[in-house]
């Protein structure tokens, strides 16, 4: 029988590769931790992730995990974890924390448009929690900080500046955001400007010696 009629060069090549794969010793493999840093940092991320698994509706746990992932430079992972967690926590009074963590994770990547979207959703979730009588779930101080953050981000987005285009654009975006905030500049009083002492003042740095002006 002429084997050449049934076995070609391609068949011989496949047989050779299969023989090499079967009879060569296995290749040595190396692995390294996904989270860089010392044992304490790696344990902190693992513990934060475990808390979100054990309590998926805990917005504070999600916020902690996203922050730790961001600090570990795992920014894409922070976005993914916070996004999924905020979806799971739809009925939680602390869902606003998960939504805010998602916004911060996006902004940390200079992806400001979805960052603003999630900031708006976080504010709405905060209001919903307060309306249902669980005001302690979104305290006044947290709500005010979130409003300032949202206003800053909204002004930057409305400016049309893309902060991902480089440091100059990022700085311009930040200035555009700051323009939405009311700024107070303290200037020396007239007496201090001329170096003269004012009557009744105990020292040059006494309280109330400056005047405020708004730009």
Residue 3 pLDDT greater than 90, yes or no: no
User: What is the token pair recorded at 97?
Assistant: 């924390």
User: What is the token pair recorded at 197?
Assistant: 């002492």
Report pLDDT for 15. Answer: 74
Nearest partner of 88 among 108, 62, 107, judged by Cα: 62
Summarised one tens digit per residue, pLDDT across range 90-120 is 888 999 999 999 999 999 999 999 999 999 9
Distance CA 212, CA 205 (A): 15
39-183 is a CATH 1.25.40 domain: yes
- The H or E element spanning position 186 is strand 185-188
Summarised one tens digit per residue, pLDDT across range 171-214 is 999 999 988 776 555 566 555 545 544 444 443 333 333 333 33
User: Is residue 94 within 8 Å of 64, Cβ to Cβ?
Assistant: no
Alpha helices in 74-214 (DSSP H): 75-88, 95-108, 112-131, 140-158, 167-178, 190-194
Banded pLDDT at 16 (limits 50, 70, 90): confident
Distance CA 76, CA 83 (A): 11
Residue 42 pLDDT greater than 90, yes or no: no
Predicted TM-score of the model (pTM): 0.68
Report pLDDT for 190. Answer: 59
């Amino acid at each position: 029988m002429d084997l050449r009629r049934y076995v070609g060069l391609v068949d011989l090549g496949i047989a050779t590769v299969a023989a090499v794969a079967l009879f060569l010793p296995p290749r040595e493999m190396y692995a390294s931790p996904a989270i860089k840093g010392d044992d304490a940092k790696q344990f902190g991320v693992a513990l934060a992730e475990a808390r979100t698994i054990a309590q998926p509706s805990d917005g504070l746990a999600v916020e902690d995990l996203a922050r730790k992932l961001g600090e570990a430079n795992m920014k894409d992972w922070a976005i993914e974890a916070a996004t999924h967690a905020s979806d799971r926590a739809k009925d939680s009074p602390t869902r606003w924390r998960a939504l805010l963590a998602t916004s911060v994770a996006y902004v940390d990547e200079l992806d400001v448009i979805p960052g603003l979207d999630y900031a708006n959703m976080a504010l709405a979730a905060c209001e919903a929690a307060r309306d249902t009588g669980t005001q302690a779930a979104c305290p006044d101080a947290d709500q005010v900080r979130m409003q300032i953050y949202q206003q800053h981000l909204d002004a930057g987005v409305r400016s049309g500046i893309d902060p991902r285009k480089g440091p100059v654009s990022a700085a311009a975006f930040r200035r555009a955001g700051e323009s939405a905030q009311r700024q107070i500049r303290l200037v020396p009083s007239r007496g201090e400007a001329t170096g003269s002492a004012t009557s009744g003042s105990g020292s040059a740095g006494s309280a109330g010696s400056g005047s405020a002006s708004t730009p």
